[in-house]
Amino acid sequence: MTNAIRTTKGRGRLYASVLETVGDTPAIRINNLGPEGVTIYVKAEFFNPAGSVKDRLALNIIEAAEREGRLSPGQTVVEATSGNTGIGLAMVCAQKGYPLVITMADSFSIERRRLMRLLGAKVVLTPRAQKGLGMYRKAQELAEANGWFLASQFETTANADIHESTTAREILADFDGQRLDYFVTGYGTGGTVSGVGRVLRAERPETKIILTEPANAQLVGSGVAQERAVDGTVGATHPAFEPHPIQGWTPDFIPLVLQEALDRAFYDQLIPIAGAEGVKAAQDLARREGILTGISGGSTFAVALKMAESAAPGSVILCMLPDTGERYMTTPLFQSIAEDMDEEELALSRSTPGYQLP
């Protein structure tokens, strides 16, 4: 630690658009949480311009479709999302001039739909009782009925490809010449674990990949195969699914993108985590490290802490933090956070005579 005044030098370049700022997120050391003798880093994906790891795949889905001639100028884009992919797509489509329609179950946080609408997207809500499969099929219906471009985040090769070419390469560069014993991630679409897994298995085979999912919705842990159509699209809700509070993780089906990681053994250990543990870990990161992440990030970090407890001295762990905590205001993450002053804050206010609320 230094007491010198911090200075900055700029990035040494000017950016043509917000889209050029996607990626190159930092790996940040954890200093106040975790056991002695083990080092934990978090890859802070909230440094992406729209605040989540999904900015990467949103950009690549659109640009891959442009390169391949599957997306025409001015064509409407449609996708089913729990929020982060939709927010990323809304940013990309706003910059590139594509109309965007999002389908989303009404169980996901209100701030997510408002963010997408602020960025110019239309948000079509589907009944929560129909789970993720309902919003998924609604997007398919709308695409077919209107001739829209379906982003297909759960099936497209553009998803894992962008993590192979960016996320994984950043990890290799950041840990060049350094130990990296464990890489910990959850899954939503499966793009992160599949894309990063391709590279780590080939170039850092000593790094163990730890996959995690909700304790009450262990789709991968069940060992039950996902029902699919011939084209890889989902046929039905997975029988092991139950509703869980870790938004962005584990829809009610195993995505085709994740299936690559399962088929190619891109993980060494699967550790389930309860939603309440994820909430607490996210709150601890905020209060003890000054790092604001969502329930998915907290859940991944909780698993990293479990690994740290049993890891050999000197081990180094990298944990994915998929997004920022600010899009969880109406979720259990903020449920215990008061809006009004508590007794201690009231006492502080009353300790001097002026400027008190009535």
Residue 214 φ then ψ, to 5°: -60, 140
138 is a catalytic site residue = no
Q: Of the residues 82, 109, 194, 296, which is catalytic? A: 296
* Non-local CB neighbours of 37 within 8 Å, separated by 6+ positions: 313, 314, 315
Element (H, E) at 100: strand 100-105
In degrees, rounded to 5, the angle at the alpha carbon of residue 315 between the alpha carbons of residues 309 and 318 is 90
296 is catalytic: yes
How far apart (Å, rounded) are the C-alpha atoms in residues 77 and 97? Answer: 10
Q: Which two tokens stand for residue 47?
A: 């440094």
175: Cβ contacts below 8 Å, ≥ 6 apart = 27, 204, 316, 318
- DSSP alpha helix (H) spans, the chain: 54-67, 84-96, 110-118, 131-146, 157-162, 168-174, 191-203, 219-222, 256-263, 275-284, 295-310, 343-350
Helix 110-118 and helix 84-96: axis angle, to 10°? 10
User: Out of 54, 131, 138, 208, which one is annotated catalytic?
Assistant: 54
What are the residue numbers of the active site?
54, 296
